[in-house]
Structure 1
Amino acid sequence: MNFSKYLRFAVVGACALAACKGGPPTATKPGKYSSTTGIEYNTEEGMKVSDYQGIPEGPGLVFIEGGRTVLGSAEEDVAMTHDNIERTVTLASFYMDEAEVANIHWLEYLHFVRKDSAEEFYQSALPDTTVWARELSFNDPYVDYYLRYPGFRYFPVVGVSWLQANDYCTWRTAKVNERLAGEGDEGDSGSSKGGGLFGRKKKKGDAGDAAEGTSEDGGKTKIAIENGNTLPNYRLPTEAEWEYAAQALIGTQETGNENQENKRIYPWDGRQVRNPYGKGMGQFLANFKRGRGDYAGIAGSLNDGAMITEYIYNYPPNDYGLYNMSGNVNEWVQDIYRPLSYEDVEDLNPFRRNGFLDPSEKYDKKGYQSLIDDHVRVYKGGSWRDVAYWLSPGTRRFMAEDSATATIGFRCAMINAGSNK
Structure 2
Amino acid sequence: MKFIPKLLFLLSIIFFITQCKEEKKEVPEAKISAEITEKSEVVVDTADILVKKPDNLKTPKGMVWIPGGIFTQGAVPQDQTAMGHEKPAHKVAVDGFFMDITEVTNREFKEFVEETGYVTVAEREIDWEEMKKQLPEGTPKPHDSIMQPGSLTFKKAKSSVPNLYDFSQWWQWTIGANWKHPNGPESSIKGKDNHPVVQVAYEDAVAYCEWAGRRLPTEAEWERAARGNKESTIYFWGDDLSVLSQMANTWEGEFPVNNTLIDGFELRALVKSYPPNDFNLYDIAGNVWEWTSDWYNTDYYSEIGSKGAILRNPKGAETPYNERDPYAKEKVMKGGSFLCSESYCASYRISSRMATSLDSSLEHLGFRTVATADMLLGKEN
TM-score (norm 2): 0.62
- For 1:379, the equivalent position in structure 2 comes to 333
Query: Cα–Cα, structure 1 residues 237 and 132, in superposed 2: closer, same or farther, change >3 Å?
Result: same
The answer to whether the 8 A contact 1:68-1:89 is kept is yes
- Structure 2 counterpart of 1:54, from 50, 53, 56: 56
- For 2:240, the equivalent position in structure 1 comes to 271
The answer to whether the 8 A contact 2:97-2:372 is kept is yes
Q: Which amino acid aligns with 1:102?
A: T
Query: Cα–Cα, structure 1 residues 376 and 95, in superposed 2: closer, same or farther, change >3 Å?
Result: same
- For 1:149, the equivalent position in structure 2 comes to 190
- Distance in 1, matches of 2:366 and 2:351, equals 18
The answer to whether the 8 A contact 1:62-1:96 is kept is yes
- For 1:122, the equivalent position in structure 2 comes to 119
- Distance in 1, matches of 2:325 and 2:227, equals 29
Query: Cα–Cα, structure 1 residues 344 and 274, in superposed 2: closer, same or farther, change >3 Å?
Result: same
- Distance in 1, matches of 2:328 and 2:150, equals 26
Alignment of 1:276-287 (within 5 A): 283-287=245-249
Query: Cα–Cα, structure 1 residues 129 and 328, in superposed 2: closer, same or farther, change >3 Å?
Result: farther
- Distance in 2, matches of 1:410 and 1:404, equals 11
- Structure 1 counterpart of 2:253, from 285, 291, 294: 291
- What's the CA shift string for 1:358-411, capped at 9, x where partnerless? xx6xx6x8xxx7424573100111100111421111111101111111111110
- Distance in 1, matches of 2:91 and 2:258, equals 36
- For 1:329, the equivalent position in structure 2 comes to 288
- Structure 2 counterpart of 1:162, from 179, 202, 207: 202
The answer to whether the 8 A contact 1:169-1:235 is kept is yes
The answer to whether the 8 A contact 2:59-2:65 is kept is no
The answer to whether the 8 A contact 1:84-1:339 is kept is no
- What's the CA shift string for 1:346-367, capped at 9, x where partnerless? 5211222632xxxx6xx6x8xx
The answer to whether the 8 A contact 2:300-2:317 is kept is no
**Cα root mean square deviation, aligned:** 3.2
Relative to its length, the structure with more strand (as a share) is 2
- For 1:310, the equivalent position in structure 2 comes to 269
- Distance in 1, matches of 2:56 and 2:258, equals 45
- Structure 2 counterpart of 1:85, from 75, 85, 88: 88
- Distance in 1, matches of 2:116 and 2:242, equals 40
Alignment of 1:170-319 (within 5 A): 170-173=210-213, 234-249=214-229, 263-274=232-243, 283-293=245-255, 297=260, 303-319=262-278
Q: Which amino acid aligns with 1:284?
A: Q
- What's the CA shift string for 1:7-63, capped at 9, x where partnerless? xxxxxxxxxxxxxxxxxxxxxxxxxxxxxxxxxxxxxxxxxxxxx972343222110
- What's the CA shift string for 1:273-298, capped at 9, x where partnerless? 417xxxxxxx521000113157653x
- What's the CA shift string for 1:277-321, capped at 9, x where partnerless? xxxxxx521000113157653xxxx53111001001100000100
Q: CA deviation at 1:171?
A: 1.0
- For 1:68, the equivalent position in structure 2 comes to 70
- Unaligned runs of 5+ residues in structure 1 are 1-51, 115-120, 174-233, 253-259, 276-282
1:412 aligns with 2:381: no
- For 2:351, the equivalent position in structure 1 comes to 394
Structure 1 residue matching 2:283: 3-state secondary structure: coil
Paired-residue identity, %? 28
Structure 2 residue matching 1:411: 3-state secondary structure: coil
TM-score (norm 1): 0.57
Query: Cα–Cα, structure 1 residues 268 and 372, in superposed 2: closer, same or farther, change >3 Å?
Result: farther
- Structure 2 counterpart of 1:105, from 100, 105, 108: 108
- Distance in 2, matches of 1:159 and 1:124, equals 9
Q: CA deviation at 1:76?
A: 4.0
1:340 aligns with 2:304: no
Q: Which amino acid aligns with 1:291?
A: G
- Unaligned runs of 5+ residues in structure 2 are 1-53, 125-148, 158-169, 305-309, 377-381
Q: CA deviation at 1:100?
A: 0.5
Structure 1 residue matching 2:223: 3-state secondary structure: helix
